[in-house]
Structure 1
Amino acid sequence: MKFQTILVTAICSAAMSAACAQPVWQDFSITGLHGDDYKVGPEKRDVITLEYAAGLTWGDAFFFIDHSRYNQTDEKDNYFELAPRLSLSYVTGQKLSYGPIRDVYLASTWESGSDFDNYVYGIGFGLTIPYFKYADINLYRANNETTKDDWMTTVTYGVPLTVAGQDFLFDGFADWSSKESDHAAELNWTSQWKWNAGKLISPNTRLYLGIEYSYWINKFGIRNVDEKNVSALVKYHF
């Protein structure tokens, strides 16, 4: 087994064992999406996404699973990612912060679909930026099962807004991966624009309505396959 696979497995194992520990904070949500302009496969899809994020004494962890149903064929599939990060401030006992950098992490992700498992490892940075609820950047090397290994960068962010007493949230991620001999470089910028309609029910209810926009250049590394898909969104945080 390669060193990077051992590293990712060790961090993922730590994340799973930490599920029994009391998190510093945690968030669980379910999202329903409907889009009509997906690329690679059926254009029309319904997607249910379960997400869990947690801050832990030793770092943080994020997990999601997408359950997709294809309207034209009645087919369905699942895809998930588990992304734990180990805080180097926690490991060293020293606060590793400078300027906008809040902390430095050993970062990893396990990506799994119906016919592949990719293991991604690298270094991550937690950022403190004015007006942002959160911002992170991870720099990775990907150990891919079905394509050549490549380099990746992932940026995640969330920006809350209040307009006329109503709460909005603009959040999402951008994934970039490098060109290799068997695939093109790709960029996937997926963002959500949503309004917290739950505030009309009670101050602490988070029920979001909005849209998700996926702008994906060279989807899955396939040259000139570009996705520009808008999906209707409903998201509830427990």
Structure 2
Amino acid sequence: MKRSLTTAALAAGFILSSQAMASPMFWQNNSLTYLYGKNFAVDSGQDGREAAIQQTITFEHASGWTWGDMFLFVDHKWFNGHSGKDGRTYYGEFSPRLSLSKISGADLSFGPVKDVLVSATYERGEGRNRNYLLGPAVDLAVPGFDRLAINTYYREPDGITGKPGGQWQITPTWAITIPVGKSDILLDGYIDWVVNDAGSKSKGDYLAKNFHFNPQVKYDLGKALDYTPGKLYVGIEYDYWTNKYGVEDSSAFNTDNNVTNFIVKAHF
């Protein structure tokens, strides 16, 4: 299964890359985000009970194509109180989605479902943190939402990690705009819910089920200052993660993240 999933994800990536070169882009959005928070678990090498300050610069890209859409981000993180390489880390994801309605030319909408897709993700962090995800997805039309999608994945680590796979993940994403005075508040975010454990505790190759809730509440400061709407936001991001990275929480090492970040986000 691991080899099949890895091959399928790579094949999907090659197909989408060749399609992207041959077909026009309908739209794109790029952004840079700065986040500031503390008491993060795991990443800084501390257990989350100490006041480890984490700062993050994130680049994001989203685009729509004749074959579907694509999203990627790269985080560069560093921690106060550390120096050199040990005080910095990175993490990124690349997520193309293949629209079955666009590829087939058929109308696949029904009820609240606007489209049916095949979604793939490649996760890459420092060291041996690499995972392939592949599965079905739906885009939904729900009153009040600018965007609402549900991606379902079967996830496998890269073969070089030596870790087990066999985990299912459900990932809803959303965006809601609420007018406030002369500007707007944007509520957006995602949930990554890995619903089952994988591997064997006795053999030390165990990945715990985990739940990551990551919403942002942002005020359109650019619009409030009479500049172009949707270009400059300020606000907060809430980061709640149980068994972060699949590492089971214990009394010896806390892996439950519960952090509020200050955020500034600029789109270009």
Cα distance in structure 2, aligned partners of 1:55 and 1:233: 26
2:135 corresponds in structure 1 to 122
State the SS of the aligned residue for 1:190: strand
Residue-by-residue CA offset, 1:125-183 (whole Å, 9 max, x unaligned): 11111110101111110111343211111110001111122211000000011222312
Using the alignment, how far apart are the partners of 2:146 and 2:13 within structure 1?
A: 25
What residue in structure 1 maps to residue 48 of structure 2? none
Structure 1: runs of 5 or more not aligned: none
Match of 1:165 in 2: 182
Whether 2:266 is the aligned partner of 1:236: answer yes
2:232 pairs, out of 204, 207, 212, with 207
Q: Helix, strand or coil for the counterpart of 2:102?
A: helix
Q: Is the 8 A contact 1:12 1:82 kept in 2?
A: no
1:70-102 Cα deviation digits (max 9, x unpaired): 112132122111000111112322111111111
* Residue type of the alignment partner of 1:236: A
Gaps of 5+ in 2: 45-51, 200-205, 250-254
Bigger drift between 199-208 and 184-193 goes to: 199-208
Does 1:196 pair with 2:220?
Answer: yes
Contact 1:187–1:218 (8 Å) recurs in 2? yes
Structure 1 position 3 matched with structure 2 position 4: yes
One-letter code aligned to 1:171: D
Q: Distance in 2 between matches of 1:237 and 1:62?
A: 14
- Give me the whole-angstrom Cα distance separating, in 1, the residues matched to 2:229 and 2:62: 18
Q: Secondary structure at the match of 2:248?
A: coil
Q: Is 1:31 aligned to 2:46, yes or no? A: no
Query: The residue matched to 2:111 in structure 1 has which SS?
Result: coil
Maintained 8 Å contact 2:193/2:211: yes
Task: Identify which of 120, 124, 136 aligns with 2:149.
Answer: 136
Compared CA separation, residues 204 and 89, structure 1 to 2 (3 A)? same
Select which of 212, 227, 230 maps to 2:257. 227
8 Å CA contact 1:125, 1:137 repeated in 2 = yes
Percent identity, aligned pairs only, is 36
Higher radius of gyration, 1 or 2: 2
Q: Distance in 2 between matches of 1:77 and 1:188?
A: 19
Separation in 2, partners of 1:41, 1:236? 25
Structure 1 residues 207-238: Cα deviation after superposition (integer angstroms, max 9, x where no partner)? 00001100111111222321110111000010
Partner residue in 2 for 1:61:
70
The aligned amino acid for 2:40 is: Y
In the alignment, does 2:169 pair up with 1:148?
A: no
Residue 180 of structure 1, aligned match among 195, 198, 218: 198
Whether the aligned pair in 2 keeps the contact of 1:84 and 1:109 (CA below 8 Å) is: yes
- Tell me how far apart the structure 1 counterparts of residues 74 and 43 of structure 2 sit (CA, whole Å): 19
The amino acid across from 1:217 in the alignment is: T
Q: CA deviation at 1:205?
A: 5.4
SS in structure 1 at match of 2:25: coil
Post-superposition offset of 1:57: 1.0
CA contact (8 A) 2:220 2:229 kept: no
Q: Distance in 2 between matches of 1:22 and 1:198?
A: 30
Q: Could you tell me which of 59, 69, 74 is aligned with 1:50? A: 59
Q: Conserved in 1, the CA contact under 8 Å of 2:20 and 2:65?
A: no
- 1:25: Cα distance to partner? 1.4
C-alpha contact 1:15 1:61 (8 A) present in aligned 2: no
Higher share of residues assigned strand: 1
